[in-house]
Amino acid sequence: MVEVKFERVKKVYDDGTVAVSNLNLTVNDGEFLVLLGPSGCGKSTSLRMLAGLEDVTEGRITIDGNVVNDLSPGARGVGMVFQSYALYPHMTISDNLSFGLRMEKGEKRLSKEEIDLRVKETAELLGLTEQLGKKPKELSGGQRQRVALGRAGIRRPKVLLMDEPLSNLDAELRNQMRTEIRRLHDKFGTTTVYVTHDQIEAMILADRIAIMEGGELQQHGPPLEVYNNPANEFVKGFLCKHIDEIVDTANRIFDER
């Protein structure tokens, strides 16, 4: 059971910016939760606090029932995928995938055979088998993002965190990768927190969306439930109106044909 909890979490940056205030949110075991909101609303800050890349100013975060506020990122059992792929340019795809496993110390360390097997499985899962001997610069953007995804997943993290992982890709690839990400989630059932400012992406991917604005959680629930019952004017404007406009436009184009 890997449940994630934010309890009264607040983040104030050194310059006094209050990025997140009083965040109370539970991500259920195996759930795909999407943090959605406009630029600057505190999505990445929330995710980075969960990953251990930012300190928590007040409140606490638990993973699997354990308070992680003072744990290093490596000790939290989280895998992360960012917008930029951040692959090691001089390493082959195979070495990029296995890097984290090769760096493990102590009882978590796998044998070379086990690592090779994981690399093989991960590559097959993501359609990267043909690319294993290549360097990142020889891959397309979509393939690189697959490697980033594989690198996060190969360690079998307790929680998978993704921050706008598809925003550098073109529309078609984005669609394709969304389906892939959801398929992988359904296969492994890893508790996942996914950050985006894209309403449609959130509606498609999420079991539950959590909408933020101005550092505050506005509403959370299954996508259609939120869409049908917006809690306030902000959610109405940001989610419902936006989607209605897309549907209206689609209808108009259809009528005009």
Ligand X SMILES: Nc1ncnc2c1ncn2[C@@H]1O[C@H](COP(=O)(O)OP(=O)(O)OP(=O)(O)O)[C@@H](O)[C@H]1O
- Interface positions with ligand X (CB under 6 A): 13, 15, 17, 19, 37, 39-45, 197
Q: How far is the CB of 82 from ligand X (least distance, A)?
A: 11
Q: What is the CA radius of gyration of the chain?
A: 19
Which is closer to ligand X, CB of 44 or CB of 145?
44
CB of 35 to ligand X, least distance (A): 8
Q: Which amino acid is at 39?
A: S
Cβ atoms of 196 and 202 closer than 8 Å: yes
Which lies closer to Mg ion via its Cβ, residue 44 or residue 143? 44
Residue 100 binds which entry of Mg ion, ligand X, none, CB below 5-8 Å type-dependent: none
Q: Binds 197, which of Mg ion, ligand X, none (CB < 5 to 8 A, cut-off by type)?
A: ligand X
Cα distance between residue 151 and residue 100, in whole Å:
7
Alpha-carbon gap, residue 143 to 72, rounded angstroms = 30
Q: Which is nearer to Mg ion, 164 or 180 (CB)?
A: 164
Partner whose footprint covers residue 45, from ligand X, Mg ion, none (CB < 5 to 8 Å by kind): ligand X
13 binds, among ligand X, Mg ion, none (CB under 5 to 8 A by kind): ligand X
> How many residues lie near Mg ion (CB under 5 A)?
1
The DSSP symbol for 111 reads P
CA gap 235, 219 in Å, rounded: 8
CA distance 127 to 190: 20
CB of 163 to Mg ion, least distance (A): 6
196 binds, among Mg ion, ligand X, none (CB under 5 to 8 A by kind): none
Minimum CB distance to Mg ion smaller for 44 or for 192: 44
Q: Judge residue 57's burial from the number of C-beta atoms within 10 Å of its C-beta, 0-12 exposed, 13-18 middle, 19 or more buried.
A: middle
Residues 36-65 that bind Mg ion (CB under 5 A): 44
Structure tokens at 15: 């310059």
| Chain residue at closest Cβ approach to Mg ion | 44
Structure tokens at 192: 């996942």
**Residue 13 vs 88, nearer CB to ligand X:** 13
Question: Cα separation of 216 and 126, whole Å?
Answer: 36
DSSP SS3 for 2: coil
Binding positions for Mg ion, rule: CB under 5 A: 44
